[in-house]
Structure 1
Amino acid sequence: MSASNRQGPLERFRVLDLTRLRAGPTAVRQLADWGADVIKIESPQALDVSDGWIGDRLGSDFQNLHRNKRSITLNLKDPEGVRILQRLVEAADVLVENFRPGVKTRLGVDYETLQRSNPGLVYASISGFGQDGPYADRPGYDQIVQGMGGLMAITGEKGQPPLRTGISLADTGVGLYAALGIMTALLEREVSGRGQWVQTSLLQGMIALTDYQAARWLMDGEVPEPAGNDHPTATPTGVFPTADGHINIATAGEEMWRRLCNAIGAPELLGRVEYASNELRTKNREALKGELAQYTRRKTSSEWIRAFEQASVACGPIYRMDEVFEDRQTQHLGMAISLRHPELQEIKVVAQPYTLSRTPSQMRTATPGRGEHTEAVLMELGYSAEQISDLRERHVV
């Protein structure tokens, strides 16, 4: 992949990717998919360093995270490796890293150092708990932060132990926040001409993602409790049994409640005093769920979904992952994208979840091999073939 075959709204930007694990690669993927020239920097193979990657390089997770990038190897523990990075920085717009806070300073690749040679650099740091403060040096992992950010305490069934979500929500969420911060800084740079240091952390991202549950405490003094599949404030909303499985039903407001009762053939519930308002339905939630279940068990999931669609009642199936991608709306939206990989042949990755009418995202290339583009990138910097060979022999690249 070269600059000539990249297209997209971000194609004018060059991004240096020093990230590993999940949160950082998630942030950089947002830039790569929209056309940025992303150079992923990894340790030379000869050093036998994993760079903190999780799982098999040819595995689905790695391939999904690192598409649309170029890869070079660079030994940042070697002063000459750092000098090469500094030369890359001179022509870069963005650098993204998720080292522990002290590591980048020891390596000499921190923001204060690198911005001297490129004052326009947008330097993004993703950490577990922030760049300073009492927990700054702690290792940050998704499940730890799900617990500390309040999510696990509100997930699961009432009276049961705390429960993590089925995805790495803290990692993914903070990756998206980091990408938003980077793009905000790039927009501001168009006015000021100056870059800046973008900082975020798993803990900040996780707290922000709890959103209205956090606001319930901050503004109302309410400590949210786990509600299982029930919505904490809108009733009835949750999972209901059918003749052949379960479906989700969601009601918000009195009109939707009326439509639900009529759709299931239970208009008499509308006259019951204990269900006369959302507040009362929430107070009497368990009894109401039991009564509704007597009706929903009478038909299959597909029958209820058709009936509720006709009645404009919010509902939906509960899919396994294979069923998600078999759904005709998912296929219409194009949420699975095919790529060619030199070893794996045709693979499918998850598409971007938003579109632009004139400048769509592009899936150009599968995840590169480690150091696949080292020679090309170094030649762009002016290194000769002989110099690159010497750098390889000394394990600088």
Structure 2
Amino acid sequence: MNDPQPQMPTGGHQPLAGITVIDLSQIYNGPYATFLMAAAGARVIKVEPPGGEPLRRRGVVGGAALPFAMLNGNKDAIVLDLKTAEGLAALTDLVRGADVLVENFAPGTTARLGIDADAMQAVNPRLIYASSTGFGVDGPYRTYPAMDLTVQAMAGVMSITGYADRPPVKAGPAMCDFFAGIHLYGAIATALFDRERTGIARRVSVAMQDAVYASLSSSLGMVWGTRNDPEPPPPRTGNRHGGLAEAPYNVYPTNDGWIAIICVGDRQWTRLCSVMGREDLTRDPRFASLKDRVVIMDEVDAIVSAWTGAHSKETAFAQLMQAGVPCAPVRTLPEVMEDENMHARGSLQWQDHPELGRIVIQHSPLRYDGADLLPLVPSRPLGADTDRVLAELAGSQKAKRA
């Protein structure tokens, strides 16, 4: 508990400097929203229960400690038992001087603990109270427990992921959690802006189900466009376009892996044909337009696969990029962690973490002109800042009374 707090260096004007955030959230979506706030200069005080939040506790399993470090750097770490009078009193004192409180507890938890929006905004009327839920604070699903997997199932993501002749599968990334986290950050930033103009501190909420719906647009377009067809197309299209409206659009084999290729118009198709040495296809009426190629996309994919299969993914990538054909080698996660573009831009950084050793950490994707990227401070041990933060709070309150 007496581990010294590293200094949080600054560079340029940080847009959220001076904003204090009480972070009661856990796992992915809330912590990602508050990480984005910390990366923009806000002071984020992460409040965990005794024993730590669930994501920290997962750290005993293999590499599961890395996600906690990815989402909780640049935050103070304190422990409060909100089931006790002392813990609740300490949180209440913190709220008096805060700008934002963020939570993503299961439905009904905040009311049982006495820390719901009514209670906390009664303590501090300028507090923006932000909640992330699975299915909304109202509506018939409001009491449903939500995890990324269950929201992917309910929201339709799983129904369109995979291949038509196989069972639905989840999307690889925890997309519902992180989509919700991004939207939650946007809601909080919007509410802070509104408070500056009007003095009104709003309650904001984001539902994971809502946050992901717009991303289904291609597949929704196909469903809508074929709603009157006697035999509508299958909902799962594998690596093909979700609306089956592009060809070529797929992942193609190479002699050492895979490469993704897409041609969104006739010009790119012509360039692809030239690279493949198949200029004859540009004169074949069966391939004359995008609409024609979509009709025979199996044949298109077979032709492209025959060419890519004779090359390495990097050779094919280099030739197609030189010709201006959109493509990318399918890279593994170890390759992505070493990505030269992200490291050059500071989007990925190596960090010597006191508990985990040398790790790769992401920075915020949000960039603000005139504000340098803040150095990434490692996530803190459980409760490392409790004594200091509460002592600062007591000193501040004593000064106000004097």
TM-score calculated relative to the size of structure 1: 0.89
Tell me which residue corresponds to 2:235.
Answer: 225
Tell me whether 1:62 sits opposite 2:68 in the alignment.
yes
Residue identity opposite 2:391 in structure 1: M
Report how far residue 272 of structure 1 moved.
2.1
Tell me which residue corresponds to 1:256.
Answer: 268
* Aligned residues between the structures: 381
Q: 1:220 to 1:185 in 2, by over 3 A?
A: farther
Q: 1:329 to 1:338 in 2, by over 3 A?
A: closer
Alignment map for 1:229-240 (pairs within 5 Å): 229-231=239-241, 232-240=244-252
Tell me which residue corresponds to 2:123.
Answer: 117
Contact 1:251 1:314 in 2 (8 A): yes
Report how far residue 26 of structure 1 moved.
1.3
Please give the secondary structure, in 2, of the residue aligned with 1:194.
coil
C-alpha separation between the residues in 2 aligned to 1:24 and 1:337? 22
Contact 2:93 2:393 in 1 (8 A): yes
Tell me whether 1:287 sits opposite 2:293 in the alignment.
no
Report how far residue 143 of structure 1 moved.
0.9
Contact 2:273 2:279 in 1 (8 A): yes
Question: Which residue of 27, 34, 40 corresponds with 2:33?
Answer: 27
C-alpha separation between the residues in 1 aligned to 2:189 and 2:27? 22
Tell me which residue corresponds to 1:148.
Answer: 154
Tell me whether 1:197 sits opposite 2:203 in the alignment.
yes
Stretch of structure 1 that moved more, 275-284 or 217-226: 217-226
Residue identity opposite 2:333 in structure 1: M
C-alpha separation between the residues in 1 aligned to 2:59 and 2:70? 12
Q: 1:160 to 1:217 in 2, by over 3 A?
A: same
Alignment map for 1:148-167 (pairs within 5 Å): 148-167=154-173
Please give the secondary structure, in 2, of the residue aligned with 1:185.
helix
Please give the secondary structure, in 1, of the residue aligned with 2:108.
helix
Alignment map for 1:321-340 (pairs within 5 Å): 321-340=333-352
Residue identity opposite 1:226 in structure 2: R
Question: Which residue of 329, 333, 337 corresponds with 1:317?
Answer: 329
C-alpha separation between the residues in 2 aligned to 1:341 and 1:242? 38
Tell me whether 1:133 sits opposite 2:139 in the alignment.
yes
Contact 1:177 1:205 in 2 (8 A): yes
Tell me which residue corresponds to 2:354.
Answer: 342
Question: Which residue of 36, 41, 45 corresponds with 2:42?
Answer: 36
Please give the secondary structure, in 2, of the residue aligned with 1:157.
coil
Q: 1:261 to 1:33 in 2, by over 3 A?
A: same
Q: 1:247 to 1:253 in 2, by over 3 A?
A: same
Contact 1:70 1:373 in 2 (8 A): yes
Deviations 1:169-224 (A, max 9, x none): 11111111111111111111110111111111221122233244345556875887
Q: 1:105 to 1:71 in 2, by over 3 A?
A: same
C-alpha separation between the residues in 2 aligned to 1:223 and 1:177? 32
Contact 1:123 1:198 in 2 (8 A): yes
Report how far residue 29 of structure 1 moved.
0.9
Tell me which residue corresponds to 1:355.
Answer: 367
Tell me which residue corresponds to 1:389.
Answer: none
Tell me which residue corresponds to 2:384.
Answer: 372
Report how far residue 116 of structure 1 moved.
1.8
Percent identical: 33
Please give the secondary structure, in 2, of the residue aligned with 1:241.
strand
Q: 1:343 to 1:54 in 2, by over 3 A?
A: closer
Contact 2:56 2:65 in 1 (8 A): no
TM-score calculated relative to the size of structure 2: 0.88
Residue identity opposite 1:18 in structure 2: L
Q: 1:328 to 1:76 in 2, by over 3 A?
A: closer
Deviations 1:106-127 (A, max 9, x none): 1111111211222221111011
Gaps spanning 5+ residues in structure 1: where? 385-397
Report how far residue 331 of structure 1 moved.
3.2
Residue identity opposite 1:314 in structure 2: P
C-alpha separation between the residues in 2 aligned to 1:319 and 1:109? 45
Stretch of structure 1 that moved more, 50-59 or 252-261: 50-59
Report how far residue 75 of structure 1 moved.
1.4
Contact 2:101 2:129 in 1 (8 A): yes
Deviations 1:55-114 (A, max 9, x none): 117821111111110011111112332222122111101100011231111111111121
Contact 2:9 2:375 in 1 (8 A): no
C-alpha separation between the residues in 1 aligned to 2:104 and 2:116? 11
Contact 2:9 2:374 in 1 (8 A): no
Gaps spanning 5+ residues in structure 2: where? 397-402
